[in-house]
Amino acid sequence: MSIDWGDNSTPEFLLAGTNSSSLYHAYSAEGKYNVSISGRFFWSSKPIISLAVRGRLLDIVSWGDGFLVDQTSVNLFNNFFNMRMSAPPNTQPVFLPGAVLEGMFQSTTFNSSLNWNLKNVTSLENMFYNAQLNSPITFTNTQGVTTMEGMFQDATFFNQPINFDCSSVTTLDAMFANTSAFNSALNLTNTQAVVSAQYMFYMASAFNQPINFSAPNLVDVSGMFLDASKFNQPVVLGTKKLTNAAQMFANAWVFNQPITFPTDFVTTMSQMFMNAYSFNQPINFNMSSATTTGSMFMNASSFNQPINFSSSSNLISTGSMFNKATSFNQPVIMVTTNLTSMGLMFYNASSFASTVKFTSTSKVTNMDSVFYLTAANFTQNLASWNTSLVTLCSSFCAFCGLPRFTNCTPCATRVNTTENTTVCNTRAPTSAAPSTGAPTAAPSTDAPTTAPSTAPSAAPATGPSLAPSTLMEVSAAKAGDFYSMVVLLCSLWVCLQ
């Protein structure tokens, strides 16, 4: 391999096996130089251009025929922040079997069209992460690619149609996360191998295209449309194996489409429709595997549709399920033989005055603020509820009926109580100072954190540097709400016999 530094100096020759990471060349004057690298060589993950001078690479003029990319070639142009590519779109490096393009143009100013044959490529993970890309991308023969995770994540300018064959792809996690301009046609075919699409459109704030997957092995769609604030399209997944739907439509403010995918194996639906302010569709879910519905409809302020939960005997927690679902007033009927926590379940569901039918509350330990600030006309007799294990039930009810318990003290302060019966009065509280029975911010009961765990929070700090077998131009110059005045807790109420 030889390197012509473009300044009339003697070309350098490297023998096979030479470690090129120590190459150094000093230019006598600042300016732009055409550097030509001839021969065949592998691009490995070891840096060849240090992070401090990566801004000096300005252009890839030609790929040549000796630029080899293999399974070690990660982060090829990571942080080459002044780089563009004038090489013809249909020219490309030589992709050897098992080649990875992971992080190839990550955090670059790259904005060139590509028309590449990816026959030997296996990974496109983070390929355009945080790149200033908005040019057409045409990839053929993508049948061998196994991951497209984070492929366009944080590419905030990108808005081009996508047409990929996903025959071997198993993960689409965060593929378009935080692509705030993306709203083009999306055609991902042959998605039968896809297992995970979590946070796929997280914060894709412009995205509003139909989703039609045939993904029979898809199991995880958690956060798939989290913060996709303009998304309101039918979602067809083609799977019966879902296990995780947490935060799927959380903060999807305008989403209001029927839910048609099966839920037989879903274990968590926490925050599924939280802050989905427009959502108002009937719910008909098989809950045979579900263990938590924490904050499922929290702040879903338009929701008021029948709920049909079949086979819910594995439910452990329903905490904050209808918290501040201010329009909801439908019967809630559940098999609750294993339920242990229902704190804040109807907290401030100000319209709710319908029927609650739980088959059992014998295992429940948390009834904290369950009906706090529920509708004044909620008067259901709850005398049949077994509260023998309840340890948290402060502020159980306010501005509602008079629930009775066999072994629970709904109020911190009691007067004239008997040993077996406690009644919480509905009179106005004697003081506005809140107790510890209600939250001072959005409840965290059974809810996952909002920030996605799979989407990288920032571009990796290090990566390999440039040593291309091509003609290049380089420069020698450097390059919940706050409740303190609102929440009045039951500890300040009077409990009468």
Backbone angles phi, psi at 116, to 5 degrees: -115, 150
What pLDDT, on a 0 to 100 scale, did the predictor assign at position 17? Answer: 57
Q: What's the rounded Cα separation, in Å, for the pair 89 and 156?
A: 22
What pLDDT, on a 0 to 100 scale, did the predictor assign at position 461? Answer: 37
More confident residue, 454 or 353: 353
pLDDT at 368 over 50: yes
What pLDDT, on a 0 to 100 scale, did the predictor assign at position 385? Answer: 85
pLDDT at 250 over 50: yes
**Of 382, 343, 346, 340, which is closest to residue 361 (Cα–Cα)?**
340
Instruction: Give, for 307, the enclosing helix (H) or strand (E).
Output: strand 307-310
Q: In Å, how far are 242, 317, 462, 466, 467 from 54, measured between CA atoms?
A: 44, 52, 11, 8, 11
Q: How confident is the model at residue 408 (pLDDT cuts 50, 70, 90)?
A: low
What pLDDT, on a 0 to 100 scale, did the predictor assign at position 465? Answer: 32
What pLDDT, on a 0 to 100 scale, did the predictor assign at position 34? Answer: 84
Give the count of alpha carbons within 13 A of 95, CB side only: 22
Rounded to a whole number of angstroms, the distance between the first and last alpha carbons of the chain is 93
- Which stretches of 48-95 are assigned E, i.e. beta strand? 57-62, 67-69, 84-85, 94-95
Q: How confident is the model at residue 392 (pLDDT cuts 50, 70, 90)?
A: confident
What pLDDT, on a 0 to 100 scale, did the predictor assign at position 295? Answer: 98
What pLDDT, on a 0 to 100 scale, did the predictor assign at position 8? Answer: 87
The residue type of 386 is: N
Question: Apex CA 232: angle with CA 228 and CA 233, to 5°?
Answer: 115
The average pLDDT across 335-356 equals 95
Non-local (6+) Cβ contacts of 360 within 8 A are: 336, 337, 339, 386
What pLDDT, on a 0 to 100 scale, did the predictor assign at position 20? Answer: 56
> Which of 235-249, 279-293, 369-383 has the least mean pLDDT?
369-383
Find out whether 449 and 12 touch, Cβ atoms under 8 Å: no
What pLDDT, on a 0 to 100 scale, did the predictor assign at position 21? Answer: 56
pLDDT at 122 over 70: yes
Helices and strands, counts by H and E, the chain: 0, 24
What pLDDT, on a 0 to 100 scale, did the predictor assign at position 475? Answer: 32
The predicted model scores a pTM of: 0.80
What pLDDT, on a 0 to 100 scale, did the predictor assign at position 174? Answer: 98
The 10s digit of each residue's pLDDT in 136-155 is: 999 999 999 999 999 999 99
What pLDDT, on a 0 to 100 scale, did the predictor assign at position 28? Answer: 86
Find out whether 88 and 115 touch, Cβ atoms under 8 Å: no
Is 51 in a helix, a strand, or coil? helix
The 10s digit of each residue's pLDDT in 420-476 is: 333 343 333 333 333 333 333 343 344 444 444 444 443 333 333 333 333 333 333
More confident residue, 340 or 60: 340
Q: How confident is the model at residue 49 (pLDDT cuts 50, 70, 90)?
A: low
The mean pLDDT of the chain is 80
**Of 194, 165, 230, 155, which is closest to residue 456 (Cα–Cα)?**
155
Q: In Å, how far are 36, 59, 216, 248 from 213, measured between CA atoms?
A: 46, 38, 9, 16
**Of 257, 244, 251, which is closest to residue 225 (Cα–Cα)?**
251
pLDDT at 183 over 60: yes
